[in-house]
Chain A
Amino acid sequence: MRKTWTLSLALAVPLALAACGGSAPAGTTTGGGEQSGGTIKIGSLHPLSGSSAADGQQMDNGAKLAVEAINNAGGIKSQGGKKLELVSADTQGKPEVGQSEAQRLIQEGAVGLVGTYQSAVSANVSTVSERNKVPFVIDVSSADSILAQGYKYTFRVQPSSTVLGTSGAQFLDQVAKAGGKPVKTVAVLHEQGPFGTAVRDAFKAEAEKAGIKVGPAIAYDAASVSDLTTQITQVKASGADVLMVAGYYRDGVLAAKAVDTVKPPALNAVYGVANGAFDLPQFPKEVGAAAEGYFDANYHADMTKPDMQALAKLYQEKYNDAIRTGAVLAYDSVEVIAAALEKAGSAEPAKVRDAIASGEVPTLIAGPGTIKFGPTGENLNATPILMQVQSGAPKQVFPADKAEAQPVYPAFKSQ
Chain B
Amino acid sequence: MTSSPDQDHVAAGNGGGVATLDPDELPTAAPRTVPWLRIGVIAALIVVAIVLAYVRAGSGVVVVQAVTTGILIGGVYGLVAMGLTLIFGVLDIVNFAHGSFLALALFLTFGLTQAGLHVYLALAVSVPAMFLLGVLVQRGILAGAMGKPLENQLLITLGISLIIENALLLFFGANPRSVALSGDRGVPIFEAVANLSRILAFVGALLLAGLLYLLLQRTRLGTAIRAVAANDTGAQLVGIDTRVIYAVTFALGTACAGAAGTLVAPLVTIEPTTGSLFNIVAFVVVVLGGMGNVVGALIGGLIIGLAEQLGGIYLPGQSPLLSVFIVFVLVLFLRPQGLFRRSA
Contact = CB atoms under 8 A, between A and B. Distances in A.
B189 to A, nearest CB: 11
A236 B193 CA distance: 12
A247 B74 CA distance: 25
B176 A236 contact: no
A51 B316 contact: no
A230 B65 contact: yes
Interface in A318-351: 321
Contacts of B198: 227
Contact of B65 (A233, A253, A285, A321): A233
Given A229-B65, A233-B65, A257-B195, A286 B317 contact: no
B180 interface: yes
Interface stretch (B120-128, B222-230, B266-274, B336-344): B266-274
B319 A221 contact: yes
Interface stretch (A22-30, A37-45, A259-267, A398-406): A259-267
A263 B186 CA distance: 9
| Centre residue among A220, A224, A230, A237 by max chain B CB count within 10 A | A230
B140 interface: no
A205 interface: no
B145 interface: no
Contact of A234 (B59, B169, B320): B59
Given A3-B149, A49-B169, A286-B178, A225 B66 contact: no
B169 A230 contact: no
A231 interface: yes
Contacts of A237: 59, 61-62
A218 interface: yes
B151 interface: yes
A413 interface: no
A321 B175 CA distance: 9
A230 B66 contact: yes
A230 B69 contact: yes
Contacts of B318: 192, 219, 221
Contact of A53 (B174, B193, B277, B312): B174
* B contact face: mostly helix, strand, loop, or mixed: mixed
A36 B320 CA distance: 50
Main SS of chain A's interface residues? Answer: helix
Nearest to B64: A233
B193 A229 contact: yes
Interface in A260-307: 260-263, 282, 285-286, 288
B169 A224 contact: no
Given A192-B318, A226-B277, A282 B193 contact: no
Contacts of B166: 49
A257 B169 CA distance: 25
Contact of B271 (A54, A223, A288): A54
Interface string B169-211: 1000111101010000010000011110010000000000000
B73 interface: yes
Contacts of A2: 149, 151
B269 A253 contact: yes
B312 A230 contact: yes
B62 A6 contact: no
A190 to B, nearest CB: 9
B309 interface: yes
A261 B169 CA distance: 31
B321 interface: yes
Interface in A204-249: 218-221, 223-227, 229-231, 233-234, 236-237, 249
Interface string B51-83: 000000101011001100100010000000000
A225 B271 contact: no
B317 A282 contact: no
A53 B169 contact: yes
B73 A261 contact: no
Contacts of A220: 312, 317, 320
A57 interface: yes
Interface in A329-383: none
A221 B62 CA distance: 19
B176 A233 contact: no
A203 B151 CA distance: 49
Pick from A50, A285, A321 the residue with the most CB of B within 10 Å.
A50
A261 B194 contact: yes
Contacts of A229: 65, 69, 192-194
B73 A226 contact: yes
A250 interface: yes
Contacts of B180: 288
Given A3-B151, A233-B61, A234-B59, A261 B193 contact: yes
A218 B65 contact: no
A50 B57 CA distance: 36
Contacts of B312: 220, 230-231
Interface string A45-84: 0000111011011000000000000000000000000000
Given A2-B149, A249-B269, A286-B176, 15 more contacts: A2-B151, A54-B175, A56-B174, A57-B174, A224-B280, A224-B321, A226-B267, A226-B277, A227-B69, A229-B69, A230-B62, A230-B309, A236-B61, A249-B176, A262-B193
12 contacts: A2-B149, A54-B173, A221-B320, A226-B267, A226-B277, A229-B69, A234-B59, A237-B61, A250-B176, A253-B269, A261-B193, A262-B193
Interface of B: 57, 59, 61-62, 65-66, 69, 73, 149, 151, 166, 169, 173-176, 178, 180, 186, 192-195, 198, 267-269, 271-273, 277, 280, 308-309, 312-313, 316-321
6 nearest A-B residue pairs (beta carbon): A219-B317, A53-B174, A221-B319, A54-B174, A233-B65, A261-B186
